[in-house]
Structure 1
Amino acid sequence: MDYSILKSLHIIFVISWFAGLFYLPRLLVYHAEAQSKEPNEKAILSAQFSKMEKLLFNAIMIPAMFLTWITGLSLIYLSWWDSFAAHTWLHLKLAFVVGITIYHFVCRHFIRQFQQGKFIISGPQLRLFNEIATILLVAVVFLVVTKNTTDLTQILLGFVIFAIVIMAAVKVVRKYRSNA
């Protein structure tokens, strides 16, 4: 397969995966918040959110994750295999992708718990959890774009600052909503 086609497919699968990683936690927020509704409304909403979460995870996120990994590892094999050790940015990117994969399966854990009626995390906590995918995406994009042209220490410092700003913004919005 042509490298450009493989790279294009990889980007498409990453976008598909992240569409799910951004949307699923929002569904979980709404699902958790639906628990405070009247019993009849709560039952209807919970059934609908459970259906949507399961479909999103199984039909979009799982295939997109596997195809992202397959095409990504194929790109490494085709382009950087001989010099893999020299590409520190790539090692760090893979570490973040492992983190994204862990985040993916934590989402699955929440789906299963919610389906059993165990709301182990609240709506506000899920709103904060939702930002983890954004933080990881920013880290990966910066690593891929800058590669070895920028000091990795600067990228990591920027990543930490960005994460702090995002988390602080979520807390400010939550405080603003509670006061409004």
Structure 2
Amino acid sequence: MLYLYAKAVHIIFVITWMAGLFYMVRLFIYHTEAKQKPTQEYDVLHRQFVVMESKLWWIITTPSMYLAIVAGLTMLYVVPGLLQAGWMHVKLTFVLGLVAYHFICQRIMFRLKHETNRWTSIRLRMWNELATVILFAIVFAVVLKSAINWIYGVLGLLLLSIMLMLAVKIYKKIRDRD
């Protein structure tokens, strides 16, 4: 029964973690684009974005990451045989990638706060899509388990990445026309 409770908690906090990451990078994009505003307007927006980013990060996103990890480790403790499954190795590899993504976002947040960030809004848009690719990889690894066909899986992720990058570039062209 502990496994099922841990699984439910894990799913809930993975969802809130991902929501936080997705929204956080959107805030980074808007924060970066605010630099194009007049100085006085930017100063007001900058202060507001710093508050919004900080609250989202420290109240929702980071606690959700830790709770998702603790719940996941609890499941592995209760059912240690999961560590023998190949799909679990794939999942954990992508989870490590997501944790790294999380801390890179934290560094971006600090740089935006101190006005030392050099990432453009288009680069941030592409960065945002990386979280989507990692999420897809994790979900497919968990759902398909041993049915993973590596060739199709890798090609599918590559195709998804290309489609997302193209969507970002098309969006930029449409936006630049307006």
Question: TM-score category by the smaller chain?
Answer: over 0.9
Matched, 1:50 2:50: yes
1:179 shift after superposition? 2.5
- Which of 81, 84, 97 is the aligned partner of 1:99? 97
Name the counterpart of 1:62: 62
**CA displacement, residues 9-33 of structure 1 (integer Å, 9 cap, x when unaligned):** 1000000100101000000001011
Q: After TM superposition, give the deviation of residue 74 of structure 1 in Å.
A: 1.5
1:82 matched to which residue of 2?
A: 81
Paired residues for 1:1-180 under 5 Å: 2-79=2-79, 81-82=80-81, 84-85=83-84, 87-180=85-178
Task: Deviation per CA, 1:49-84: give whole Å up to 9, x if none.
Answer: 0010011111111110011111112112222x2362
The answer on whether the counterparts of 1:89 and 1:152 sit within 8 Å (CA) in structure 2 is no
Identity %: 39
5+ residue gaps in structure 2? none
CA contact 2:28–2:124 (8 Å) conserved in 1: yes
Deviation of 1:147 after TM superposition, in Å, equals 0.6
| Counterparts in 2 of 1:178 and 1:5: CA distance versus 1, 3 Å | same
The answer as to whether partners of 2:122 and 2:168 remain within 8 angstroms in 1 is no
Compute the TM-score of the two structures, normalised by the length of structure 2.
0.94
Flag structure 1 segments of 5+ consecutive residues without an equivalent.
Answer: none
Q: How far off its partner does 1:131 sit?
A: 0.9
For 1:139 and 1:150, locate their aligned partners in 2 and report how far apart those are by CA, in whole Å: 11
CA RMSD of aligned residues (A): 1.3
Deviates most, 13-22 or 158-167: 158-167
Indicate conservation of the 8 Å contact 1:143/1:155, yes or no.
no
Question: Which residue identity lines up with residue 11 of structure 2 in the other structure?
Answer: I
After the TM superposition, which parts of structure 1 deviate over 4 Å for at least 4 consecutive aligned residues?
none
Distance (Å, rounded) in 1 between the aligned partners of 2:13 and 2:144: 21
Between the aligned partners of 2:124 and 2:82, the Cα distance in structure 1 is: 40
Distance 1:110 1:173, change over 3 A: same
